[in-house]
C-alpha cells in the first residue's frame, strides 16, 4: 500500500520527447553522490525516465515492513528511517538514510523494513521492477550499488556491537560521534566531522536507534553535558566540546 497524494512534481518524466533527453538528472543535487554517478549521461537519462521526484512530508511512510517492495529510491533531501518492529509494537530503527543514499530492496518482492521520513524529504522514486531490469542491464550501476550495500552492511554490523555489548553511555556517545561524521560527509568536501549540528531525530527516535528508552537517552545526554563534553543549546542541537573524551566514552 503506497499513498502518495502529492501534487505532481515539476519533473518532465511524462513529457513526450523520450530518451537521451534531460530528465532533470543534469541538475540533480545528489547526482555525484548517488548510485547514478556510475552512469554515463545517456544511460542516466534513460534511468531518469523511470524516476519521479516526490516530496515526502515528515512522518509519512514510503514502504511498509513485510508488504511487497514496489519501489526503490534515491534520497535527494531530508532524512529517512528504516525500521522494524516486534509483534507487540517495540520498534528498532535499523538504518538512517541521508541525501545521496539509496533505499529500498532491489531483487526481492518483500521489504524487510519500513521506510519513513524523519523530516520533510524529497526522493527520486523508481518502480522496483523497472529498476531491477535496468540494473541488470547496467553492470556499472550494479557495481556501484554493490559498493554502497557493502558499506551499509559494515555499518549495520558495527551497530550490532553497540546494541549487543555497549552500555547506555557508550551507546549515546557512539551515536553522537557517528552522526557528526555522517552529517559532515557532504560528498564534496573531504568529509570532516561536524562539531555542531542539528539532530534529524527526536529523543524517542534516538532511543529506537540505540535500543534504549527515551529517559535513558535523556539522562545520558545530560550526563555528557554535565561532564563538559557536549553542549545542548537547543532541543535538537548538539555541540561537541571535547571530541577526544567523547571518543573515549564510545568504547571502540
Per CB under 7 A, residues contacting DNA are 167-169, 202-204, 211-219, 221-222, 232, 234-236
Find the farthest-apart pair of alpha carbons in the chain and give their distance in angstroms, rounded. Answer: 62
Which strand ranges, in their side-by-side order, compose the sheet holding 237-240?
196-198, 237-240, 230-234
Helix (H, G, I), strand (E, B) or coil at 149: helix
β 114-117/102-103 pair status: unpaired
Name the residue nearer to its own copies (CB basis): 82 or 118. Answer: 82
If one counts every other C-beta atom within 10 angstroms of the C-beta of residue 77, the result is: 17
Residue 234 contact, options DNA, its own copies, none, Cβ 5-8 Å cut-off depending on partner type? DNA
Name the residue nearer to DNA (CB basis): 65 or 198. Answer: 198
Residue 164 in the binding site for its own copies (CB under 8 A): yes
Residue 27 in the binding site for its own copies (CB under 8 A): no
R_g of the chain, CA atoms, integer Å: 19
Closest to 79 in 3D by CA, of 63, 95, 96: 96
Residue 222 contact, options DNA, its own copies, none, Cβ 5-8 Å cut-off depending on partner type? DNA
Residues found near its own copies in the complex (CB under 8 A): 82, 84-88, 90-92, 94-95, 105-108, 112-113, 136, 139, 142-143, 145-147, 149-150, 152-154, 156-161, 163-166, 170, 208, 210-211, 251-252
Amino acid at each position: 500500500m503506497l499513498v502518495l497524494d502529492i501534487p505532481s512534481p515539476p519533473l518532465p518524466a511524462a513529457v513526450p520527447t523520450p530518451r537521451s533527453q534531460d530528465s532533470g538528472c543534469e541538475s540533480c543535487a545528489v547526482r555525484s553522490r548517488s548510485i547514478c554517478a556510475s552512469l554515463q549521461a545517456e544511460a542516466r537519462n534513460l534511468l531518469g525516465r523511470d524516476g519521479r521526484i516526490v516530496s515526502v512530508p515528515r512522518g509519512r511512510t514510503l514502504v511498509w515492513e513485510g508488504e511487497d517492495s514496489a519501489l526503490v529510491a534515491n534520497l535527494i533531501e531530508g532524512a529517512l528511517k528504516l525500521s522494524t518492529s516486534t509483534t507487540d509494537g517495540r520498534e528498532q530503527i535499523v538504518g538512517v538514510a541521508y541525501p545521496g543514499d539509496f533505499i529500498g530492496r532491489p531483487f526481492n518482492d518483500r521489504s524487510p523494513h519500513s521506510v519513513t521520513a524523519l523530516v520533510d524529504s524529497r526522493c527520486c522514486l523508481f518502480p522496483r521492477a523497472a529498476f531491477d531490469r535496468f540494473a541488470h542491464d547496467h553492470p556499472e550501476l550494479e557495481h556501484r550499488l554493490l559498493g554502497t550495500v557493502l558499506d551499509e552492511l559494515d555499518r549495520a554490523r558495527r551497530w550490532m556491537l553497540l546494541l549487543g555489548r555497549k552500555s547506555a553511555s557508550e551507546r549515546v556517545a557512539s551515536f553522537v560521534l557517528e552522526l557528526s561524521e555522517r552529517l559532515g560527509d557532504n560528498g564534496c568536501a573531504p568529509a570532516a566531522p561536524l562539531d555542531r549540528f542539528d539532530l534529524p531525530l527526536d529523543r524517542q527516535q534516538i532511543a529506537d536507534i540505540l535500543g534504549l528508552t527515551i529517559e535513558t537517552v535523556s539522562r545520558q545526554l545530560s550526563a555528557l553535558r554535565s561532564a563538559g563534553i557536549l553542549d545542548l543549546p537547543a532541543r535538537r542541537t548538539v555541540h561537541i566540546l571535547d571530541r577526544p573524551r567523547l571518543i573515549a566514552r564510545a568504547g571502540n
